[in-house]
C-alpha cells in the first residue's frame, strides 16, 4: 500500500499510509480511539475506497478489484453482530447460506469442531459469555476459508483466559498461511503480533516488530519507587530530560530521549525513601511517548509542552 488517504468531510482521517503485510503474518494496529485504525484496515482491503493512493490486497487491486478481495476476506467487527435468538449452529448455517456454500452442514460441522463449539452447537447465542461469542464470530469469519482476517478489537470485554485462547487460534491460523490484521489496545496482545503499526490521528508513527518499534524511539526509561509518587510526578514536570511520566502500580516510569539529563534530574529530585533505576523501555512506554507527541486531527493544533503531552494523551485516551 502506498500513499493511502481518506477524508470524511473536512477531516483527514488517514494520511499517506504505506504498509506491507506478508502472508501468514499477524499484523497489529495500535493507537488511540479515533486514530484511523479501522478506516486504515478497510482501505487496505478494498472495503473503503481511498481518496488517493494505490495498493494490492491478496494480489488484487484495492481500487478496481474490491469485490474479488471481499470473497477472500473474513471480517470480525468490533460489535457482536449475530442473532441472540438463534443457536450457534443456526447462526453459522445462516452465514454459510449467505455465502451460498455447498455442503453447508459439513462446513458448519467443521467450523464447530475447529473452534471447540460442538458441545454448545444448540445453545442460544444470547446466553453465551463474551468468550464464546468471540469464538462464534471467529468461526463465522472462517466459514469460507478466507486468506485474510480483519479483526477490529476482537477481544474487547473478554476475560484474560478467553483472550489467551483466542490468540492461540490466531497463531494456528497464521501458521496455515492466513494473514491477520488486528486492532487492539492491549499491550500483551501487541507483543503477540509478528509486526506492529502505531497510528495516531490518521498518521503512521512507527511500524516493525515490537523490538524494532521500541528501538526506533531511542527512549531511556527509569523506574522510580517511593512514597507519594503523585507528588513526585508533579515535581518532575517540565524538568530537563523528562518527557513523560506514567504510573505503573507502585512505581513511576519516567522516560525521555536524553538519558544523561534525565538521570541528572532524578538525582536532584530524589529524596529519602525514593529510589530509581534504569530499566528496559517497554511497548507501553513507547506508545505513551508516541501518543503524547501526536496532534489530534479533531482538535485545534497546539504544540505539546513537557509533561503536558502526557496529560493530553490521557485526556484523548
Rg (CA), the chain: 22
pLDDT band at 34 (very low <50, low <70, confident <90, very high): confident
Asked if pLDDT for residue 315 goes beyond 50, the answer is: no
pLDDT band at 92 (very low <50, low <70, confident <90, very high): very high
Evaluated on CA atoms 163, 165, 167, 173, the torsion sign reads negative
Domains of the chain, with CATH numbers?
2-213 (3.40.50.300), 217-316 (3.30.70)
- Is 151 or 185 the better-scoring residue by pLDDT? 151
pLDDT band at 301 (very low <50, low <70, confident <90, very high): very low
Looking at every residue in the chain, the average pLDDT score rounds to: 86
User: What is 80-114 written as a DSSP string?
Assistant: --S-TTSBHHHHHHHHHHHTT-SSHHHHHHHHHHH
Angle at 200 between CA 258 and CA 299, to 5 degrees: 100
Angle at 88 between CA 85 and CA 94, to 5 degrees: 80
pLDDT at site 309: 43
**Average pLDDT of 94-103?**
89
SS3 275: strand
pLDDT at site 294: 67
pLDDT at site 307: 45
Question: Residues with Cβ < 8 Å from 108, sequence gap 6 or more?
Answer: 89, 92, 93, 96, 143
**Average pLDDT of 293-316?**
49
Q: From residue 192, give the alpha-carbon distance in Å to each of 100, 164, 173.
A: 35, 10, 14
pLDDT at site 52: 93
Tens-digit pLDDT profile for residues 41-73: 888 877 889 999 998 989 899 899 988 888 899
- Is 307 or 241 the better-scoring residue by pLDDT? 241
Asked if pLDDT for residue 313 goes beyond 50, the answer is: no
Q: Quick check: 42 and 32 in contact, CB under 8 A? A: no
Cross-sheet strand order for the sheet of 251-256: 244-248, 251-256, 220-225, 275-279
Tens-digit pLDDT profile for residues 192-217: 999 999 988 888 999 999 999 999 99
Share of the chain above pLDDT 90, in %: 43
- Other CB atoms closer than 10 Å to residue 256's CB: what's the count? 23
Q: Cell numbers at residue 310, please?
A: 502526557
SS3 172: helix
pLDDT band at 297 (very low <50, low <70, confident <90, very high): low
Q: Cell numbers at residue 20, please?
A: 506491507
Burial class (CB in 10 A: 0-12, 13-18, 19+), 73: buried
Amino acid at each position: 500500500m502506498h500513499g493511502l488517504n481518506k477524508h470524511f468531510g473536512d477531516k483527514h482521517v488517514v494520511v499517506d499510509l504505506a504498509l506491507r503485510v506478508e502472508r501468514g503474518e499477524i499484523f497489529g494496529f495500535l493507537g488511540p480511539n479515533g486514530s484511523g485504525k479501522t478506516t486504515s484496515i478497510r482501505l487496505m482491503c478494498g472495503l473503503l475506497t481511498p481518496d488517493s493512493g494505490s495498493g494490492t490486497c491478496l494480489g488484487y487491486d484495492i481500487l478496481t478489484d474490491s469485490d474479488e478481495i471481499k470473497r477472500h476476506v473474513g471480517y470480525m467487527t468490533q460489535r457482536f453482530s449475530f442473532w441472540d435468538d438463534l443457536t450457534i449452529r443456526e447462526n453459522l448455517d445462516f452465514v454459510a447460506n449467505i455465502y451460498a456454500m455447498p455442503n453447508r452442514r459439513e462446513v458448519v460441522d467443521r467450523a464447530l469442531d475447529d473452534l471447540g463449539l460442538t458441545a454448545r452447537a444448540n445453545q442460544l447465542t444470547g446466553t453465551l459469555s463474551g468468550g464464546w461469542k468471540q469464538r462464534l464470530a471467529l468461526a463465522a469469519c472462517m466459514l469460507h476459508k478466507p486468506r485474510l482476517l480483519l479483526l477490529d478489537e476482537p477481544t474487547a470485554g473478554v476475560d484474560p483466559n478467553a483472550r489467551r485462547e483466542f490468540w492461540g487460534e490466531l497463531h494456528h491460523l497464521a501458521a496455515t498461511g492466513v494473514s491477520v490484521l488486528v486492532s487492539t489496545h492491549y499491550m500483551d496482545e501487541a507483543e503477540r503480533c509478528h509486526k506492529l503499526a502505531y497510528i495516531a490521528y490518521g498518521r503512521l508513527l512507527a511500524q516493525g516488530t515490537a523490538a524494532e518499534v521500541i528501538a526506533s524511539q531511542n527512549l531511556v526509561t527509569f523506574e522510580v519507587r517511593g512514597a507519594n509518587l503523585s507528588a513526585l510526578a508533579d515535581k518532575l514536570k517540565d524538568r530537563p530530560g523528562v518527557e513523560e511520566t506514567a504510573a505503573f502500580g507502585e512505581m513511576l516510569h519516567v522516560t525521555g530521549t536524553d538519558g544523561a539529563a534525565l538521570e541528572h534530574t532524578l538525582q536532584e529530585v530524589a529524596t529519602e525513601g525514593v529510589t530509581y533505576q534504569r530499566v528496559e523501555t517497554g511497548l507501553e512506554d513507547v506508545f505513551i511517548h508516541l501518543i503524547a507527541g501526536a496532534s489530534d486531527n479533531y482538535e485545534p493544533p497546539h504544540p505539546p509542552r513537557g509533561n503536558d503531552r502526557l496529560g493530553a494523551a490521557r485526556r484523548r485516551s
